[in-house]
Amino acid sequence: MSMPSGPAAMPENLLEISDLAVSYRSRSGVVRAVDGVDLTVRAGEIVAVVGESGSGKSTTAHAVIGLLPGSGQIDAGRIRFGGRDLAGVSERELRLVRGAQIGLIPQDPTVSLNPVQRIGDQVAEVLRVHGLADRRSAPLDAVDLLEQAGLPDPAVRARQYPHELSGGMRQRVLIAVAIAAKPKLIIADEPTSALDVTVQRLILDHIQSLTEAHDTAVLLVTHDLGIAADRAQRIVVMSRGRVVEAGPARQILDQPSHPYTRQLLRSAPSLAVARPTAPPRPAPGRAAADRPLVTVENLAKEFPLPRVAGAAARSVRAVHDVSFSINRGETFALVGESGSGKSTTARLVLRLVEPDAGRIVFDGKEITRARGEELRRLRRRAQLIYQNPYASLDPRFSIGEVITEPLRVFRVGDRASRRARARELVERVALPASVLDRRPAELSGGQRQRVAIARALALSPDLVVCDEPVSALDVSVQAQVLELLAELQAATGVAYLFISHDLAVVRQIAHRVAVMQAGRIVEIGATGELFDRPNHAYTRDLLAAIPGGRYA
Amino acid sequence: MRRYLAGRLGQAVAVLWAAYTVSFLVLDLLPGDPVSAMAAGGLDQAAIEPAQIEALRREYGFDQPILVQYLNYLGRAVRGDFGNSVATGRPVTSTLADALPYTLQLTAAALVLAVVLGGAVALYATYTAHRWLRQLLMSLPSLGVSLPTFWIGLMLVQLLSFRLRLLPAFGNEGAASLILPAVTLAVPTGAMLAQLLAKSLLTTLDEPYVQTARAKGAGRTRVHLRHALRNAALPAFTMAGILVGNLMAGSVVVETVFSRNGVGRETVSAVTVQDIPVVQGVIVFGASTFVLANLAVDLIYPLLDPRIVVAAAQQRSTG
Amino acid sequence: MSQSLVGEVEPATGPDPDRPRHPEPGVIRGAEARRLVRFLLRRPGLVLSILVVALVVLAAFWPTLFTSRDPLLGVPVDRFQGPGAQHWFGTDELGRDLYARVVHGAALSLKATLIAVGVAFVVGGTIGLVAGFVGRWGEDVLMRIVDVLLAIPALFLSLALVTALGFGTVKVAVAVGLASVASFARVMRAEVLRVRQAVYVEAARSTGARWYSVLLRHVLPNAIGPVLVLATLELGIAVLAVSSLSFLGYGAPPPAPEWGTLISTGRNYLANAWWLSTLPGLTVAATVLATNRIARALDGESATQR
């Protein structure tokens, strides 16, 4: 460390990015992704770069180690690190910096390890490349590093291949790779966005404690302001390739000066949990409808696993003994991590998947085994909105065709009246009438999800199943779509079966919540009740894992 | 592992049986009386007595119901007996067996050339930093698959044999006579291989794990060979069956161009005189090269891709 | 990730602040033509390829546009003339103009190619569509048959069919086409399966659409693209296969001009008349290169549409 030179002495800047500009060349021209970005990281501190997709946050981080994807190139600016300008040095010199002085923890652990190389070899490679270990010592060091990264049975794991490890374990391997050469800086690019929430927290805790122990600085790239609030000393907010605001974390969160930051804060669902906003509109009283719209009893579904020759047939229990009911005009949420069976349950209710056992009653009529016309009548009254608005619209259809398809299928009205209905629906989801002639590819994610909502409402159904309807959208768009769903419910009295892994989102919209784990419902109750006084241990785990909690 | 092997072998046998059946259906059931066709093509054109045809018909069993014919033939084929050539009267099996060594020489030499040249072009085209060199190298494979094989052969003969008098144009005497045919045969196969491998390399180089390797500070050569090539070779490797089949088919044309003995030449003369038993033997032979190549791939693949080993191991533990 | 900065290409279309993420926002119909021109200008190789194919098609239907000479009439005095102003491609052993023979040969070669691709497309496409959409045991049976066809090298299968059907351009073409049925069936099935699992197909099903409506309106239009690309690619393969079979002597009987036959006859005069094999061969190569280039362009297009 430097000589003591008075209490006011700032620690030296480890990384100093100034006036950085990065662009991508494509067939349709040059696109500026990062424009005039300034950013500093001091030794040993965690700096979070926060922004929505397309804000240039990842590009900035990758520019530091000269690993821009595809056609990306640095147009201007300096990246000072260790007394040199990394923007100007040769590939050969950059190679000496990568891995040795700056480590990278990539976004998606499931695809970031070489599938045909053993774990241990992949960790040892960093040491070998930089001459930090020889052929004999590298494997032993690798096991050591894996242990430090918190991987159980490191000696065994080192001899395994990536596909034999879970996502969380693979991220620990990548952490071991990143810390192997004891770098001064680690770039963590959305290190947990591909993982389940409970795993997320463990991984972030580990990164934090490891870097604290070695006095390593971290440049944490994330879209989640909650994560930034929990972990970072300083936050840099980016939007459309520029830094809109930067400063100490407290200050950014308490007194955001830029309107964009304020919007981001308002719409960040994880922070909204910490600071409860207006509760969802009250559900209509039971008096309005004396019997529930949907009742599900003891529903079960098993999926056969791919049959392997000679082996006994095996299957997974996706849904096991699930019962609940949904009232008219109510939003009922199913919450759980991936693989909990929540999506399968929704598909069972819609009869898109055949149940193995149990009963489904829709508006007083049993539809568990409905076929043909009976099933089509159900389809007319129960519609579905998908998670991914990029995949759920036929790319060849115009938006008008997409929205009127349910009407055409049920021969409702003639061409002109359907067209009129489409215009009305588009207006209702707050899109201009001009989108009717466009194709899905021309719209943004949020706009497409609005189209999907319009399609779902075309036949004025009683129930709409929303399968993670906002998880593929940016946070600021999420908030708008959720608001729209609530408004439409108030106007039309439609009931929602709302599937989500995101408790924060659920809190904003649901009247009642059921928590699912491994195919079963472990807890069910009114939203406020369940969030404030969770009964089941798993519910408490889920609630504790929501980022942003420390800030509150 | 033994069960995995047995399964693969069973599949191979099933494919061979099916290929035999297809050849039987195509050759014996399609319109046209095989016996008169054989008599017209294979025997002396001058005198074909109805009695002779009748005799042939009996000899080949065409007077029996079709199913009986099929089962008879299949029974003999299983024992390696594909009947006698109509044109020469020799057993089909020994006709092909005599020709096989020449064809094997040719295709083996061509396979080695194709793998070495195609692999080198694909690797270097994706490695080089010079744009012009990359584009030049990348255009070679698409040129290679667009040229008629026999025309490549003729051009090589014209240039190297007639103009420069470097290499013999025809025949199969000595190693020198193998060079031109092997090169000719290697061009389309090598080009196809290079296309496959280059495409697969480019996709692989975009994979996040390649980025991880680069972030470790690994050099370009290391990333290219250790990380990209091993993964990129896998899809190309699974095409081995098709490639070997292509080589066999190409040998038909190449052997004709260079007047070399071999299975291909036998095939051409058999088709010309509609010598059905020989053609049938060739089809089964072609299918068995494909099947053998695929069997070899199935055996080697688990060594290259650990994900397959695990599948096999799981099979073992649960089975 | 960075497309949000493309600038204000799109007028703001509502209260939605997030921008399109799709790299190339699709076409706005008015600008389609201009976009196409720009697309082509940036790809001179593609333009050349389209030109070559156009010339071949023209030659096939109106050979007299290119030459007034008779492809069958020889002038014995003029035999074995090298390429020059008089005879662009030189003359053959009977004094026939090789250029005229190549031009007139286009008709036969194109006809054979189209028959081959047509047979493969219709038969293979139908098998693939049925297999992909019906599923279960029907799919199993069909695809096992296809697997077997794939196991026999295409040329061997064509040769067997030629043996059974007899010689001649049309029969050779049918044989080549049938030998390619398997690859069409595979691609068609794979595409149908891919599209069938697409979320928008389930979405259509969940709105209550009947199966035939789903098949015709969603599955088929979205699945056909790669099959058309394969058909274009198959044009080149068929040209090569037909000319190979002609070279082996199973195609059009002489004196009819056909590209493969021309190369084959030239083989006898390799030592003293190089042009007789070389120039028809170059014509074949140019045609195949051109169709392959076009297929690649179509492939790129259909890939961006997915």
Q: What is the token pair recorded at A35?
A: 């424009």
List the single residue in A34, A54, A396 with the smallest CB-CB distance to C21.
A54
Residue A428 lies inside a defined structural domain of this protein:
no
pLDDT at B153 > cutoff 80: yes
Average pLDDT over residues C139-163: 89
d(CA B94, CA A472): 66
Q: Which chains touch C (3 or more CB pairs under 8 A)?
A: A, B
CA distance C260 to chain A (A): 40
We report the CATH number of the domain holding residue A367 as 3.40.50.300
Residue in this structure with the two tokens 């089941």, named with its chain if needed: A536
Window 379-398 of A: residues touching C by CB (8 A cutoff) are 379-380, 383-384, 386, 388, 391-396
Mean pLDDT to the nearest integer, B292-314: 74
Confidence check: pLDDT of C29 > 60 = no
* Prediction pTM value: 0.79
Which residues contact residue A309 at a Cβ distance below 8 angstroms, ignoring those fewer than 6 apart? Answer: B3, B7, B315, B319
Which domains does chain C carry? 45-61+91-305 (1.10.3720.10)
pLDDT in tens, B246-276: 898 899 999 999 989 999 999 999 998 888 8
Per-residue buried b or exposed e for C57-96, using 16+ beta carbons within 10 Å of the residue's own CB: eebbeebeebbebebeebeeebeebebeeebbbbbbbebb
CB nearest to C152's CB, from B19, B30, B142: B19
Q: CA of C234 to nearest chain B CA: how many angstroms apart?
A: 12
**pLDDT tens for each residue of C102-147:** 898 898 889 999 999 999 999 999 999 999 888 778 888 888 888 8
Asked if residue C255 has a cis previous peptide bond (ω within 30° of 0), the answer is yes
Within 26-65 of B, beta carbons closer than 8 Å to A belong to none
Q: Is residue A8 situated within a structural domain?
A: no
Q: Average pLDDT, stretch C36-45?
A: 82
Phi, psi angles (nearest 5°) of residue A326: -125, 130
Please indicate whether, in this complex, the C-beta atoms of C199 and A26 are within 8 angstroms of each other: no
A302 pLDDT band, cuts 50/70/90, is: confident
| Closest listed residue to residue A112, CA positions, set A163, A61, A68, A73 | A163
Q: Does A376 touch chain C (CB under 8 A)?
A: yes
Strands A242-248 and A520-526 turn out to be unpaired
Of A106, A264, A315, A308, nearest to A194 (Cα)?
A106
User: What integer best gives the mean pLDDT of chain C?
Assistant: 82
Residue B37 has pLDDT above 70, yes or no: no
Q: Closest Cα to residue B103, out of B243, B280, B270, B253? A: B253
Q: Please indicate, yes or no, whether residues A202 and A291 belong to a single structural domain of this protein.
A: no
Residues of A with a Cβ under 8 Å from any B Cβ are 65, 67, 69-70, 91, 95-100, 103-104, 106-108, 111-117, 122, 125-126, 129-130, 161, 163-164, 174, 177, 308-312, 314
Q: Encode pLDDT of B167-212 as tens digits.
A: 887 777 777 889 999 999 999 999 999 999 999 999 899 889 999 9
Residue A180 lies in a domain: yes
Phi, psi of A223 (to 5 degrees): -95, -5
Given CB atoms, is B289 within the 8 Å cutoff of chain A?
Answer: no
Tell me if C4 sits within 8 A of C19, measured CB to CB.
yes
Q: Which helix (H) or strand (E) holds A360?
A: strand A357-362
CA-based torsion, C52, C53, C55, C59: positive or negative: positive
| Per-residue pLDDT reduced to its tens digit, A152-207 | 889 999 999 998 888 888 999 999 999 999 999 999 998 887 777 778 888 888 88
The answer to whether residue A413 sits within a structural domain is no
pLDDT of the residue at C9: 31
In a domain, B81, yes or no: no
pLDDT tens readout for residues A242-269: 999 999 998 988 888 898 888 888 766 5
Record: contact A32-C5, CB cut-off 8 A: yes
**Concatenated DSSP letters for C182-229?**
HHHHHHHHHHHHHHHTSHHHHHHHHTT--HHHHIIIIIHHHHHHHHHH
Inter-chain residue contact B319 with A310, CB threshold 8 Å: yes
> Which positions ≥6 away from A327 have C-beta within 8 Å?
A283, A284, A286, A289, A292, A293, A495
In a domain, B141, yes or no: yes
pLDDT in tens, B272-299: 888 888 998 999 998 888 888 888 888 8
Distance from the Cα of C297 to chain B's closest Cα (Å) equals 13
Beta carbons of B306 and A163 less than 8 Å apart: yes
Has residue A417 been placed in a domain? no
Cβ–Cβ gap C277/B286 under 8 Å? no
What is the pLDDT averaged over residues C83-112?
85
Q: Are residues A254 and A334 in the same domain?
A: no
A430 assigned to some structural domain: no
Q: Answer yes or no: is pLDDT of A310 > 70.
A: no
Q: How high is the pLDDT of residue A472?
A: 77
Residues A337 and A226 in one domain: no
Contact by Cβ (8 Å): B8, B273: no
pLDDT computed for residue B32 by the predictor? 53
Is A130 in contact with B217 (Cβ distance < 8 A)? yes
Average pLDDT over residues A544-548: 75
Rounded to whole angstroms, how far apart are CA atoms B82 and B57? 17
Determine the distance in angstroms separating the CA of A130 from the nearest CA of chain C, rounded to an integer.
32
Instruction: Determine, yes or no, domain membership for B243.
Output: yes
Closest alpha carbon within chain B to C150: B242
- Residue A378 domain boundaries: 286-304+316-400+461-545
Tens of pLDDT, residue by residue over A59-104, are: 999 999 998 877 788 999 999 998 889 988 888 899 999 999 999 9
Query: In this structure, is residue A274 part of a structural domain?
Result: no
Which of A218-222, A482-486, C129-133 has the largest mean confidence? A218-222
Per-residue pLDDT at A550: 53
Are A370 and A481 in the same domain? yes
pLDDT number for residue A140: 93
Please check the confidence at residue C273 and state whether its pLDDT lies above 90.
no
Residues of C with Cβ-Cβ distance to B271 under 8 angstroms: 159, 162-163, 248, 250
B-to-C residue pairs, Cβ atoms closer than 8 angstroms: 143
Identify all chain A residues contacting C17, using CB atoms and an 8 Å cutoff: 476-477
Q: How far is A432 from chain C (nearest CA, A)?
A: 6
Q: Which of residues 256-295 of C touch B (CB under 8 A)?
A: 260, 263-264, 266-267, 270-271, 274, 277-278, 281, 284-285, 288-289, 292-293
Using the Cβ of A442 and the Cβ atoms of chain C, whether some distance falls under 8 Å is answered with yes
Most A CBs within 10 Å, among C3, C5, C215, to test the A interface: C5
For a pLDDT cut of 70, what percent of chain A falls above it?
91
Torsion over CA: A171, A173, A176, A178 (sign): negative
Task: Determine how β-strand A331-335 pairs with β-strand A512-517.
Answer: parallel
DSSP H/E element including C143? helix C136-151
CB of B8 within 8 Å of a chain A CB? The answer is no
> Which class for A221: exposed (0-12), middle (13-18), buried (19 or more C-beta within 10 A)?
buried
What chains are in contact with A, requiring at least 3 Cβ pairs below 8 Å? B, C
**A218 and A320 share one domain:** no
Digit-coded pLDDT (tens) for A338-389: 778 888 899 899 988 889 999 999 988 888 888 888 888 888 899 999 888 8
Average pLDDT for residues B13-36, to the nearest whole number?
76
Distance of CA B24 to the CA centre of its chain: 21
The two three-digit tokens of residue C157, written as one number? 């299968």
| Contacts with A164 from chain B: Cβ below 8 Å | 310
Number of domains into which chain A is organized: 2
Arithmetic mean of pLDDT, C92-96: 81
CATH number of the domain that B103 lies in?
Answer: 1.10.3720.10
- A107 to chain C, any CB pair closer than 8 A? The answer is no
Is 70 exceeded by the pLDDT of residue C24?
no
Mutate: best of B11, B212, B226, B314, partner A, most A CBs <10 A:
B212
Which of residues A24 and C12 earns the better pLDDT score? A24
Q: In the predicted model, what is the mean pLDDT of residues C175-190?
A: 92
| Chain A closest-CA separation from residue C185 CA (Å) | 23
ipTM exceeding 0.90, yes/no: no
Rounded CA separation C74/C85 (Å): 18
**Alpha carbons B205 and C220: distance in angstroms, whole number:** 33
Let me know if residue A442 belongs to a domain: no
Please tell me which of the candidates A384, A439, A476 has its beta carbon nearest to residue C26: A439
- The β-bridge relationship of strands A46-50 and A217-222 is parallel
Find where tokens 């080198």 sit.
B120
Task: Using a CB–CB cutoff of 8 Å, tell me whether B221 touches chain A.
Answer: no
Shortest Cα distance from C188 to chain B (angstroms)?
19
- Would you say residue A547 has pLDDT above 50? yes
Looking at chain C, how many residues does it have? 306
Q: Is residue A495's pLDDT more than 90?
A: yes
Confidence of residue C72 (pLDDT cuts 50, 70, 90): confident
Residue C236 has phi, psi (to 5 degrees) of -65, -45
Do A247 and A164 lie in a common domain? yes
Bridge-based pairing state of the strands A512-517 and A520-526: antiparallel
Are residues A161 and A297 both part of a single domain? no
What is the span of the domain harbouring residue B249? 95-274
Measure the CA–CA gap between A515 and B50, rounded to whole angstroms. 87
User: CA–CA separation, A172 vs C41, rounded Å?
Assistant: 50
DSSP code, position A12: P
Give the phi and the psi of residue A465 in degrees, each rounded to 5: -90, 120
The answer to whether residues B250 and B185 touch, using CB atoms and an 8 Å cutoff, is: yes
pLDDT at B124 > cutoff 90: yes
Query: Distance between CA atoms of C278 and C281, rounded to whole angstroms?
Result: 5
The secondary structure of residue A221, as a DSSP letter, is E
Q: Which residues contact B129 (CB under 8 A, 6 or more apart)?
A: none
Residue B196 CA to residue B168 CA, distance in Å, equals 33
The answer to whether the CB atoms of A442 and C22 lie below 8 A apart is yes
Pair of tokens at residue A334: 């199913």
B171 falls within a domain: yes
A126 vs B3, B216, B219: nearest CB: B216
Which residues face A297 on adjacent strands?
A: A359
Name the residue among C148, C236, C270 with its Cβ closest to that of B18: C148
Task: Please say if the pLDDT value at position A149 is more than 50.
Answer: yes
pLDDT exceeds 60 at position C33: yes
- Quick one: pLDDT at residue B51? 73
Residues A487 and A373 both lie in one domain: yes
Q: Which residue in chain A has the smallest CA separation from C26?
A: A442
User: Which among C1, C208, C305 has CB closest to A376?
Assistant: C208
* Residues composing chain A: 552
Name the pLDDT band for C27 (thresholds 50, 70, 90): very low
Domain assignment of residue B138, yes or no: yes
A491 in reach of chain C (CB within 8 A)? no
Number of domains, chain B: 1
Query: Does residue B304 fall inside a structural domain?
Result: no
